[in-house]
Amino acid sequence: MAISSTMDEGDEFPPMSDINTTPLVDVMLVLLIIFLITIPVVLQNVKVSLPKVRFDATTTKPENVNLSVRGVGANSLTCEVYWNQTKVGPQELEDRAVAKLKLEIAKQGGVNAVGLELPEAHIRADINTPYKCVGGAIYVMQRAGFVRVGFISEPPPGEGVERL
């Protein structure tokens, strides 16, 4: 603490204009210790063994929607989406998806039908297709109401089919 040792006339101490920096230094030291402890924990790399690609045969149902997505042009700047073999734009894709869901729900007895099984959307994309194309197709299908959206892939060459 800062103490003034000189007395003013009238035996009163003059106003003190010094700042007590001890609490500030204490807080800064505590923060320094916290950062020294937490930074190595945050920056630590954890080695993770990612799963290998496995090919599980899927059962194709006639009510499922098959989409093919690919990037076209230099650097794949534009995207093409095909509903089965028919090229569709984003709005037409959403319209078809909504119509397909409405048709399937009506076939099964309505929204409140017991055991209602909604169709799935299966997306097949070229290996060089940018993610924006695949992500756009996923977004449109989910916005249309498809709950299950999956990807169709194939195993690397020379590997057999692994069953669970």
β-pairing verdict for 65-72 and 78-83: antiparallel
Torsion of CA 81, 85, 87, 88, to 10 degrees: -70
Q: Are 55 and 161 in contact (CB under 8 A)?
A: yes
Torsion of CA 24, 28, 29, 35, to 10 degrees: 160
- The token duo for 62 is 């006639």
Local structure of residue 11 (DSSP, 8 states): S
Predicted local distance difference test score (pLDDT) of residue 4: 55
Predicted local distance difference test score (pLDDT) of residue 164: 46
Predicted local distance difference test score (pLDDT) of residue 130: 85
pTM (global) more than 0.85? no
pLDDT of 87-130, one tens digit each?
999 899 999 999 999 999 898 888 888 888 888 898 888 777 88
Which CATH code fits 65-152?
Answer: 3.30.420
Q: What are the C-alpha distances in Å from 96 to residues 65, 82, 117, 150?
A: 10, 12, 18, 18
Predicted local distance difference test score (pLDDT) of residue 60: 73
pLDDT of 35-92, one tens digit each?
888 777 666 555 655 555 566 666 677 788 989 998 887 676 788 899 988 899 989 9
The domain limits of the chain are 65-152
